[in-house]
C-alpha cells in the first residue's frame, strides 16, 4: 500500500520536453508575419504571447511552450480525440481506473506502450499494477503528456517502478536523482532504508551507495529513529563493517544492535556475524565488564565472541605497543570509526572563515586502550582560508604577491602541542567532518581523512566557495566542523607476516 502522509513538500521535477519539442517548435520569425499553425492564437493566454526573445540574426522567438503544456494537460483531462482507453486494474482487488489516452502520445514516450498498442486491436488496453503503482498511475500518464511531474517522498518508488516498467528513461533517471537529492528530507517514518532496499532490488548501485553513505554519516540519528528497527540483516551487516560510520561511540552501536536483535529475532548466525563486527577494543573496559554480565545478547552469544572479548581485554591491559610485540591481529576491533564523543575530538565552528587564519586547541585521549585512555594529548589545529602550496607560492614574483594571493585554497593542519615518547608506534589519523545546510537541515556533507594536513586529501573544501555569503557550506556565516583524532596501532591492525 502507498503510505500517505501530510506535510511532505512535493518536489516539482521538470523533465524531457520531448513531446513539446516534437509537436510544437517555438517559431522563429524573420520579418514575416507570424503564423501559428493550427493554434488559434486567440485562445492562448496573454502572458504566454508576451514571451518574445530577440535572437542575434534579427529573428525573434515566440515561445508558447507553457501554453502548449497546458493544452496537452487539457487534452488528457477531457479525453478529446482519445483512441485508446487504459483500464488500470489494481492487482488482487477489483479496483479499476479508466484513463482516456492517445496512442500517438503514449507510443511517442514509451516503447513498451508502442509495442502494446501495435499488437493490440481493441480500443481498450488492460494494465495490471500493484496498489502503490496504481495510486500514482494518473500522475505517470500526465508526465507522458506534459513532461513535468510533482513528486512526494512516498511516491518516488512507485513512480520509478512505472518508469522502469514502461521504459520512460528520462523519468526513471530524474527520479533516481530526486531520491539521491532528498535523502535528508523530513519524513515521519523515514524513507532512506526503503530506498536502499529498492535500490538493491533493482541494482541501482549509485542510489544504493548514496543511501548507505547517508545512513553511515548520520548514524546516531538513524539508531534513535523508528527506521532502525526495520533495517534488513544485509543492511545491518553492511553498515557494521564500515569504518566511516559517524556516531557517538562504539557502545552506542552495540546498544542499538542489541535493540535491533530484540526487535527482529534474526537467525543465530546473523546475530553472531553482527556481534563479531562490533569493535570491542573501542569500548572502555568498565563498559565491557557490565555488558558481559548484564547484556542479554552477550550472555546468550558469549561463546561466539569470547575470542574477541579476550583480545579486547588484553588490549586494555597494557600498552598496545606491548601487545603488538606478541600477537598477530588481523581484524578490525582496533580500528576506530568516526566517534563524536569528547574523548575522540571536538567540534570547531569557524565564524567568517575567509577573514583570516584561525587556530584552535583541543584535547583527546592518547588512545582507546585502558592504559592510554587517561593520558591526554593537546592538539593545535590551524585553519587557513587561502593557503598556497609551496610550488605555487614560489612561482609568484614579489610584485604579483603584492597584488593578490589568488587561487589560495582552504587548509587545516592538526599537530600535537608537545611530543611524547608515548606516541611511539601510534599514528594519529585525523578526520574532519564538514556539516552543511541542506533543505534547512544540518547534514554531513564531507568527511576528509588525513594525517597532518588536509592538503593530503587533495580536495579539501574545493567546492565550498566560502567567499560567497550564500555558500551552502556556511551556516549563519560560520563553517561547522568536527575534528576527530583516531589513534591507529599499525602493528596491531595491519596483518604482519
Ligand atoms: C520557452 O519558455 C519556457 C518557460 O517559459 C522555457 O523553459 C523554455 O526554455 C523556453 N524555450 C525557448 C526555446 O526559449
Ligand atoms: C473537448 O470535448 C469537450 C466535451 O467533451 C468539449 O466541450 C470541448 O470543446 C472539446 N475541446 C476541444 C478543443 O475540442
Ligand atoms: C485485428 O483487427 C483486424 C481488423 O479489424 C482483424 O482482421 C484481426 O483479426 C484482429 N486481430 C486480433 C488479434 O484481434
Ligand atoms: C586478514 O583477514 C582478511 C579478511 O578477514 C583476509 O582476507 C586476509 O587474508 C587476512 N590476512 C592474513 C595475513 O591473515
Ligand atoms: C540526520 O538525520 C536527521 C533526521 O533526518 C536530520 O534532522 C539531521 O539533520 C541529519 N543530520 C546529519 C548530520 O546528517
> Per-10-residue mean pLDDT for the chain, 497 residues long?
42 48 45 40 49 73 93 95 95 94 95 91 91 97 96 96 96 96 87 94 94 94 90 95 96 97 94 96 95 95 94 90 75 90 96 92 93 91 84 54 60 92 87 89 92 89 84 90 91 58
Q: 3-state SS of 170-204?
A: HHHHHHHHHHHHCCCCCCCCCCHHHHHHHHHHHCC
Distance 408 CA to ligand 2 centre (A): 64
CB 473, CB 453: distance < 8 Å: no
**Are 436 and 475 a contacting pair, CB within 8 Å?**
yes
Best substitution site from 441, 475, 482 to test ligand 5's pocket, by max atoms within 8 Å of Cβ? 441
pLDDT value at residue 81: 92
First to last CA, the chain: 56
**497: Cβ below 6 Å to ligand 4?**
no
Euclidean distance between CA atoms 380 and 392, whole angstroms: 25
Q: pLDDT value at position 426?
A: 85
Whether residue 74 has its Cβ less than 6 Å from ligand 2? no
Greatest CA separation for the chain:
92
Taking the C-alpha atoms of residue 11 and residue 139, their distance in angstroms, rounded to an integer, is 13
Whether 26 lines ligand 1, by a CB cut-off of 6 Å, is yes
Contacts of 366 (CB under 8 A, 6+ apart): 372, 373, 375, 376, 377, 420, 422, 426, 487
Cα of 495 from ligand 1 centre, angstroms: 61
| Residue 102 CA, ligand 2 centroid: distance in Å | 15
Nearest CA to ligand 2 atom 9: 80
Element (H, E) at 13: strand 11-14
Beta bridge partner(s), residue 62: 27, 52
Question: Is the C-beta atom of 65 inside 6 A of ligand 1?
Answer: yes
Looking at residue 358, its pLDDT comes to 94
469: CA distance to ligand 2 center in Å?
Answer: 52
Q: Is the CB of 221 under 6 A from ligand 5?
A: yes
| Res 12: pLDDT | 60
Q: What local confidence, expressed as pLDDT, does residue 391 receive?
A: 61
Domains of the chain from N-terminus onward: 11-30+45-179 (3.30.710.10), 183-317 (1.25.40.420), 338-392+408-493 (2.60.210)
Q: pTM for the complete prediction?
A: 0.79
Q: Which atom of ligand 4 is nearest to the CA of 495?
A: 13
Rounded CA separation 121/118 (Å): 8
Q: Whose CA is nearest to atom 4 of ligand 1?
A: 66
- Return the beta strands (E) in 304-417 as ranges: 338-339, 345-351, 358-365, 376-387, 409-416
- Centroid of ligand 1 to alpha carbon of 54 (angstroms): 13
Q: Helix, strand or coil for residue 124?
A: strand
Pairing of strands 246-247, 338-339: parallel
> Does the C-beta of 391 come closer than 6 Å to ligand 4?
no
8 Å CB contact between 149 and 143: yes
Instruction: Report the alpha-carbon distance of residue 201 to residue 181 in Å, rounded.
Output: 20
Please report the pLDDT score of residue 299 as a whole number: 95
- How far is the C-alpha of 60 from the C-alpha of 54, rounded, in Å? 5
**Ligand 3 center to residue 125 CA distance, Å?**
15
Amino acid at each position: 500500500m502507498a503510505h500517505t502522509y501530510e506535510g511532505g513538500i512535493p518536489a516539482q521535477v521538470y523533465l524531457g520536453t520531448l513531446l513539446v519539442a516534437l509537436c510544437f517548435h517555438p517559431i522563429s520569425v524573420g520579418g514575416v508575419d507570424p503564423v501559428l499553425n493550427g493554434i488559434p492564437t486567440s485562445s492562448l493566454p496573454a502572458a504566454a504571447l508576451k514571451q518574445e526573445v530577440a535572437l542575434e540574426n534579427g529573428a525573434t522567438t515566440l515561445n508558447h511552450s507553457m501554453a502548449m503544456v497546458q493544452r496537452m494537460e487539457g487534452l488528457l483531462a477531457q479525453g478529446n480525440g482519445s483512441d485508446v482507453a487504459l483500464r488500470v486494474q489494481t492487482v488482487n482487488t477489483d479496483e479499476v481506473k479508466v484513463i482516456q489516452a492517445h496512442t500517438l502520445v503514449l507510443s511517442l514516450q514509451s516503447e513498451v506502450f508502442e509495442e502494446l498498442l501495435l499488437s493490440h486491436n481493441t480500443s481498450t488496453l488492460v494494465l495490471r499494477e500493484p496498489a502503490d503503482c496504481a495510486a500514482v498511475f494518473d500522475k505517470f500518464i500526465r508526465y507522458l503528456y506534459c513532461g513535468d511531474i510533482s513528486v512526494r517522498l512516498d511516491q518516488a518508488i512507485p513512480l520509478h517502478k512505472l518508469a522502469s516498467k514502461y521504459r520512460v528513461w528520462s523519468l526513471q533517471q530524474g527520479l533516481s536523482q530526486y531520491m539521491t537529492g532528498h535523502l535528508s528530507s523530513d519524513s515521519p517514518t523515514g524513507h532512506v532504508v526503503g530506498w536502499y532496499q529498492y535500490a538493491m532490488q533493482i541494482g541501482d548501485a549509485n542510489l544504493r551507495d548514496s543511501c548507505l553513505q547517508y545512513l553511515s554519516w548520520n548514524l546516531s540519528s538513524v539508531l534513535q529513529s523508528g527506521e532502525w528497527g526495520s533495517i534488513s540483516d544485509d543492511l545491518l551487516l553492511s553498515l557494521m563493517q564500515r569504518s566511516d560510520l559517524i556516531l557517538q561511540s562504539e557502545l552506542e552501536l552495540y546498544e542499538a544492535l542489541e535493540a535491533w536483535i530484540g526487535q527482529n529475532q534474526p537467525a543465530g548466525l546473523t546475530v553472531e556475524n553482527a556481534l563479531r563486527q562490533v569493535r570491542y577494543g573501542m569500548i572502555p573496559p568498565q563498559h565491557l565488564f557490565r555488558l558481559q554480565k548484564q547484556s542479554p545478547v552477550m550472555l546468550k552469544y558469549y561463546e561466539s565472541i569470547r575470542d574477541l572479548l579476550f583480545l579486547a581485554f588484553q588490549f586494555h591491559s597494557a600498552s598496545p605497543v606491548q601487545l603488538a610485540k606478541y600477537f598477530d591481529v588481523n581484524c578490525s576491533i582496533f580500528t576506530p570509526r568516526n566517534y563524536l564523543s569528547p574523548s575522540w575530538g571536538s567540534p570547531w565552528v569557524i565564524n567568517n572563515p575567509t577573514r583570516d587564519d584561525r587556530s584552535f586547541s583541543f584535547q583527546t585521549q592518547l588512545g582507546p586502550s585502558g592504559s592510554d585512555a587517561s593520558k591526554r594529548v593537546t592538539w593545535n589545529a590551524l585553519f587557513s582560508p587561502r593557503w598556497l602550496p609551496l610550488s605555487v607560492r614560489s612561482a609568484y614574483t614579489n610584485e604579483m604577491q603584492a597584488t593578490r594571493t589568488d587561487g589560495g585554497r582552504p587548509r587545516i593542519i592538526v599537530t600535537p602541542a608537545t611530543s611524547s615518547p608515548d606516541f611511539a608506534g601510534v599514528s594519529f589519523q585525523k578526520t574532519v567532518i564538514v556539516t552543511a545546510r541542506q533543505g534547512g537541515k544540518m547534514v554531513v556533507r564531507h568527511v576528509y581523512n588525513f594525517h597532518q594536513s588536509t592538503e593530503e586529501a587533495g580536495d579539501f573544501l574545493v567546492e565550498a566557495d566560502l567567499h560567497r555569503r550564500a555558500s551552502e557550506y556556511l551556516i549563519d556565516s560560520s563553517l561547522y566542523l568536527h575534528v576527530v583524532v583516531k589513534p591507529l596501532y599499525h602493528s596491531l591492525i595491519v596483518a604482519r607476516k
